[in-house]
Amino acid sequence: MAFEALSVRRSQASLRFPGEEALPPSRLFRALFEAVQSARLFPDSKTFADCTPRVDPAAILAAWEAERGDAGFDLAGFVAAHFMLPPASETGFMTVAGRDVPAHIDALWPLLERHAEAPAPGSSLLALAKPYVVPGGRFGEIYYWDSYFTMLGLVRSGREDLAAAMVENFAHLIETYGHVPNGNRSYYLTRSQPPFFALMVALIAGLRDHAETYRAYLPALEAEYAFWMAGAEDLAPGHAHRRAVRLADGAILNRYWDDRATPRDESWREDMETAEAAPGREPTQVWRDLRAAAESGWDFSSRWLKPGGGLETIRTTSIAPIDLNCLLLQLETTLGEAYGWAGETQAADAVKDAARRRRDAIHAHFWDPRQGAFGDLLWEEGRHTGVLSAATLFPLFLGFTTGGRARAVAAAVRRELLAPGGLVTTRVRSGEQWDEPNGWAPLQWIAVAGLTQYDEYALANEIARRWIAKVGHVYAATGKLMEKYDVVSEDLAAGGGEYPNQDGFGWTNGVTRELMARYPELGVVPLPAANLARTGG
């Protein structure tokens, strides 16, 4: 099938190498960037990547070359003189005693909102045309898949205007760069994140004229499809190109990828150390797999590791993930609908045919009968990874499976993934943040929405109840909504990964706000006055 005929007619430029226009700090400052990161001037590698040059980058580099050989050269002083640090992650927001969780969330949206402005020359920030919401904490930019779950809460809070503005921003990013980057930073331009744009369009279409909305966003939907399917048409069985793979039986699926194979700017030091801990592996392959896992949004998880191995065994590009392929099936389905509203019947028929083939491939290749659940596929080897994760619920969330398999997935989830505080991400304790004991807001929503679609109401209600209770317990003690939660124990803090747990927090706010509205009988949790002194943004 001619994928390009479906998706590149209005977006030929979208197949250029992403990120050529806006250099990331690692390429803009090169040796200076590496010196700063190697010297550990900042505890968080992301800090320097987000710094803003005080003068033209060329002038900074010239000063660096002229001064770095001087006796007593002070690197920290040089950086302080030539760069402005990113804003502090703490908002200083103080909640009030007696404020329940929904009211707290409604009060947080303005603090997490950012307005369109032109970034300073040399900044890693990419301009957006409309207001947007950031997750919070160290994440001071928009993030792709986070935003869908944030939008759920915005709509529930009566901020449909802001949700619509965010969709406009993503369409602008697609038009400008050919895809939605991981976030609006130059160092994110070579990768995306789980493709939720079609679901965002559907959410907005539910608030306004349906046909007009789909027609308006058709060019952006086409361009995103072109990005994910680039090179698919010419693949031989058993081969891959960027994000597209062709299995031995000819089925075309997708994987996560990144167009660079270098340490990530925001985790440069950590990626260097991971490659050093992987003897016998090419560092470029390690870095590519780390970056691909960052595109997955699950950075990091045992989903991407060899059994029992650490991060140095990461193999993301060898895996065709169940969630990604369901999201691309959703994109194909949405494209078919949009073409129909636009009166383009031939294109609609072609993309619907692609969707049928992908759906068949999902059921043929991702169903793991040993676990009674959907799993990830080692696409070159034609076998499952064996890791049961909450991603098994994506076919239910998007309505792409049968009643029988949905019941089997529900049984596996109840047996293996249901924890006291909601749904655990996996049952592997790897020390990575997308593994046990952590639970994440987007996966709770995917579970509840998916199980409800297939009449698994009891389990959906139980996950919602346990999640709301966990979030409420932490809020009552701290006045905060967190990025992630330890759903196995009663601990207030969750750990794992490359950085501390963050508060704010966009997608937790969105999902919890929506779940509390859908399950009002579960109640809300006010903040006790005794805990007010300990609260913050």
- Please report the pLDDT score of residue 493 as a whole number: 87
Does the pLDDT of residue 483 top 60, yes or no?
Answer: yes
pLDDT, tens only, 195-245: 999 999 999 999 999 999 999 999 999 999 999 999 999 999 999 999 999
- Please report the pLDDT score of residue 21 as a whole number: 64
Sorting pLDDT into bands at 50, 70 and 90, what band is 499? confident
27/100 Cα distance (integer angstroms): 46
Nearest C-alpha neighbor of 151 from the set 187, 109, 91: 109
Give 78-84's long-range contacts (Cβ < 8 A, gap of 24+).
79/36, 79/41, 79/48, 79/51, 81/54, 82/53, 82/54, 82/55, 83/48, 83/51, 83/52, 83/53, 83/54, 84/51, 84/52, 84/53, 84/54
| 3-state DSSP assignment of residue 310 | coil
What's the token pair of residue 21? Answer: 């226009």
Determine the CATH number of domain 3-51+86-534: 1.50.10.10
Query: Which residues are designated catalytic?
Result: 299, 483
- Please report the pLDDT score of residue 531 as a whole number: 60
CB atoms within 10 A of CB 441: 30
What's the token pair of residue 169? Answer: 């921003």
Place of tokens 């099936």: 329
Does the pLDDT of residue 406 top 70, yes or no?
Answer: yes
Does the pLDDT of residue 369 top 80, yes or no?
Answer: yes
- Please report the pLDDT score of residue 495 as a whole number: 85
8 A C-beta contact, residue 317 and residue 293: no
Mean pLDDT confidence for 19-31: 85
Q: Where are the domains of the chain?
A: 3-51+86-534
Nearest C-alpha neighbor of 537 from the set 131, 142, 183, 110: 110
Place of tokens 């040399």: 122
Q: Which residues does 535 contact at the CB level (< 8 Å), separation at least 6?
A: 94, 95, 478, 479, 480, 527
**Helices (H), ranges, 417-504:** 441-453, 457-478
For helices 322-341 and 210-229, angle between their N-to-C axes, nearest 10 degrees: 130
What's the token pair of residue 39? Answer: 């010297």
Q: Which residues does 330 contact at the CB level (< 8 Å), separation at least 6?
A: 198, 199, 398, 400
339/351 Cα distance (integer angstroms): 9
| 3-state DSSP assignment of residue 245 | strand
Place of tokens 């680039």: 230
Does the pLDDT of residue 20 top 50, yes or no?
Answer: no
- Please report the pLDDT score of residue 10 as a whole number: 41
pLDDT, tens only, 328-359: 999 999 999 999 999 999 999 999 999 999 99
Give 155-160's long-range contacts (Cβ < 8 A, gap of 24+).
155/203, 155/207, 156/510, 156/513, 156/514, 156/517, 157/105, 157/106, 157/109, 157/513, 159/109, 160/207
297/307 Cα distance (integer angstroms): 20
Does the pLDDT of residue 421 top 70, yes or no?
Answer: yes
- Please report the pLDDT score of residue 262 as a whole number: 98
CB atoms within 10 A of CB 111: 14
Of 326-335, 362-371, 498-507, the least confident: 498-507
pLDDT, tens only, 258-306: 999 999 999 999 999 999 999 999 999 999 999 999 999 999 999 999 9
Nearest C-alpha neighbor of 511 from the set 480, 481, 536: 481
User: Among the ranges 18-22, 100-104, 409-413, which has the highest mean pLDDT value?
Assistant: 409-413
Question: Sign of torsion, CA 333 174 150 389?
Answer: positive
335/355 Cα distance (integer angstroms): 10
Place of tokens 């045309």: 129
Mean pLDDT confidence for 474-498: 91
8 A C-beta contact, residue 409 and residue 451: no
What's the token pair of residue 383? Answer: 């076998």
| 3-state DSSP assignment of residue 379 | coil
Q: In this structure, what are the phi and psi dihedrals at residue 453, rounded to the nearest 5 degrees?
A: -60, -30
* Strand residue runs (E) in 354-400: 367-368, 373-374, 377-378, 383-384
Average predicted confidence (pLDDT) for the chain: 93
- Please report the pLDDT score of residue 529 as a whole number: 64
What's the token pair of residue 136? Answer: 């919070």
Nearest C-alpha neighbor of 312 from the set 321, 304, 323, 320: 304
